[in-house]
Amino acid sequence: MVAANPEIPLARPLVSPSIVTRLHGLVVTVDHKKLGLMYIASALFFLVVAGLMASVIRLQLALPNNNIVAPDTFNRLFTVHGTAMVFFVGMPIVAGLSNYLVPLMIGARDMAFPRLNAFGYWMFLFGAALLFFSYIGAPGLSGHGSAPDVGWFAYAPLTGRAFSRGNSTDYWTLCLLVSGIGSLSSAVNVIATAFGMRSPGMTLMRMPLFVWMMVVVSAMMFIVIPPLTAAQIMLLIDRFLGGNFFNTQSGGSAVLWQHFFWIFGHPEVYVLMIPGFACASEIIPVFSRKPIFGYSAMVGATTMIAFVSMGVWAHHMFSMGMTSVGNTFFMISTMAISVPTGIKIFNWLATMYGGKIRFELPMLCCLAFLFQFLIAGLTGIMLAAVPFDWHLTDTYFVVAHFHYVLIGGMLFCIFGGIYYWFPKATGRMLNKTLGLWHVALFFIGFHLTFDTMHIPGLLGMPRRIYTYDPGRGWELLNLITSIGVVFQIVGIACLAWNLIRSLRKGEKAGDDPWDAWTLEWATTSPPPEYNFETVPPVRSARPLWDLKHPEDPDWKYE
């Protein structure tokens, strides 16, 4: 960039600074927009890394008795893939989106605690660095490197000193501890910002649903990350101080770990999924040209999901020998969660009903999301159905289910969010042709891989096996599953190229390319460091609608 863009004269020096100055600027920044984009960029980078790990896993499983990676290498791959995808892709994308958008959507200057915000980002990045560094440093100074191989939920006592020698498990523990601190600081910031810094007139029930959902997610993080941290500390005590929390050889309890982990682990699914809902709840109304149907029902349903999700964790443990009463309780609570989830799906449908749906890229992603999330919800009911789950748990059916939730559900919404807000963040549109290739290829690849993946589970294929013998009807299904990965890789490559290219050459976006209604579209694209010169008056949930349609504003109907 040689000269400053004449349309965005503010806060831009005439000569672009050197790369060192710019990197230094990133290191010391406390600007919520820069941090948000750093979160998202790091998360997309780890998405590619962990995605390539998954590709090696699928290469190994494409054919029976394949020998591409050794068993231990395979076990490390799925452990690091799972850990990285949940903690270093999902969590930072959530943090990044909320960082970038929450202040803009409520008309604030920045997050409530900018320095804490920067601290959170760096804790996340160091956590991720610890995980990947384990490949080089894990067994300690004398040994050869190796990453953790205990699975992403690391069931005791496999993590004990007796079964996990060296330090690979310690790297795993520490990377979660460190990044957990980052997630908590980001969560406290979102809540403080949303509750304390809304522009005049924006009551809680006029907050964009995106902000509402991020507030709920942040509150959930407060409740669920401490048990995870506690469990990690107990594990460290077991491993280094001779504790016996999980050491079954000295009377410890393997089941205790499972409870601790899933008290975190299940709400975590919603911590990742609700931000997807948040994107969809902004995108679907704008591209249907109607307000969200049942705003207060959506807020209520989100809160319900958050509460109920705290009481369902043991549905991950139906096969571990709970009493029939325990199994029945967690079956009921798990099935109950489908009610608020159903309310959301129906509200999105009703928002589209009677609208004029514009099939732009963000909307296409959200339509794919609706279809896929419905299936993910239905397989979720199958997994909540305890006797059925006795078969399905720990098989490829469950693997297909949660990838359906996190890719078919969350990631498609995130893609939608990227297409929707990229113009705001950069001032440039993403290329539509490349975008269509990305969405189409990824959609095809996703369905080839994960639709097919359900069936080996029904045919008795357990998860986390590094290979299998032919003859059980798994061969072709696994081959198709692996072929789908090729489409996904090409699709992601299209997205990456589109992001890089459009940053420089994309069509100019203008302030409000989608004719949208929330406050972030009232400022320039990209927004100046101080966000708003003047914040428009807020008299309803859609302040920009009110500005654009003074003859029929929303606040008349509130």
Footprint (CB under 8 A) of another protein, residues 104-163: 149, 151, 155-158, 162-163
Binding segment toward another protein, per CB under 8 A, in 192-200, 382-390, 421-429, 499-507 = 382-390
Q: Return the number of the residue (109 or 548) whose C-beta is nearest another protein.
A: 548
Closest to 295 in 3D by CA, of 210, 372, 219, 413: 210
302, 287, 207, 512: CA torsion to nearest 10 = 150
Q: Return the number of the residue (110 or 360) whose C-beta is nearest another protein.
A: 360
Interface with another protein, residue 420, by CB under 8 A: no
Neighbouring residues of 96: CB distance < 8 A, sequence distance ≥ 6: 35, 36, 37, 38, 39, 40, 43
Secondary structure (3-state) at 356: coil
Tell me the two tokens of residue 333. 């609570």
**Rounded Cα distance, 180 and 222, in Å:** 10
Secondary structure (3-state) at 508: strand
Interface with another protein, residue 296, by CB under 8 A: yes
Which parts of 202-261 interact with another protein (CB under 8 A)? 248-249, 251-255
Which parts of 458-487 interact with another protein (CB under 8 A)? 458-477, 480
Helix 432-458 × helix 361-384 angle, to 10°: 10
DSSP-assigned letters across all residues of 244-279: -SS-GGGT--HHHHHHHHHHHHHHHHHHHHHHHHHH
Cβ–Cβ under 8 Å, residues 186 and 117: yes
Q: C-beta of 217: minimal distance to another protein in Å?
A: 23
Q: Return the number of the residue (185 or 478) whose C-beta is nearest another protein.
A: 478
Query: Which of 277, 293, 404, 420 forms a contact with another protein (CB under 8 A)?
Result: 293
Interface with another protein, residue 86, by CB under 8 A: no
Which parts of 161-190 interact with another protein (CB under 8 A)? 162-163
Q: Return the number of the residue (204 or 332) whose C-beta is nearest another protein.
A: 332
Interface with another protein, residue 550, by CB under 8 A: no
Which parts of 301-330 interact with another protein (CB under 8 A)? 319-321, 323-324, 327-328
Tell me the two tokens of residue 130. 């610890």
Binding segment toward another protein, per CB under 8 A, in 131-139, 378-386, 436-444, 491-499 = 378-386
Query: Which of 71, 143, 196, 510 forms a contact with another protein (CB under 8 A)?
Result: 71
Q: C-beta of 382: minimal distance to another protein in Å?
A: 6
Interface with another protein, residue 342, by CB under 8 A: yes
Query: Which of 10, 136, 378, 436 forms a contact with another protein (CB under 8 A)?
Result: 378
Size of the site for another protein (CB under 8 A): 105
Measure Cα distances from 395 to 320, 479, 551 in Å.
15, 17, 58
Interface with another protein, residue 290, by CB under 8 A: yes
**Rounded Cα distance, 68 and 56, in Å:** 8
Q: Return the number of the residue (200 or 321) whose C-beta is nearest another protein.
A: 321
Q: Give the amino acid at 245.
A: F
Interface with another protein, residue 543, by CB under 8 A: no
Q: C-beta of 269: minimal distance to another protein in Å?
A: 19
Please tell me the number of Cα atoms within 13 Å of 285 on its side-chain side.
22
Under DSSP, the state recorded for 292 is P
Q: C-beta of 170: minimal distance to another protein in Å?
A: 17
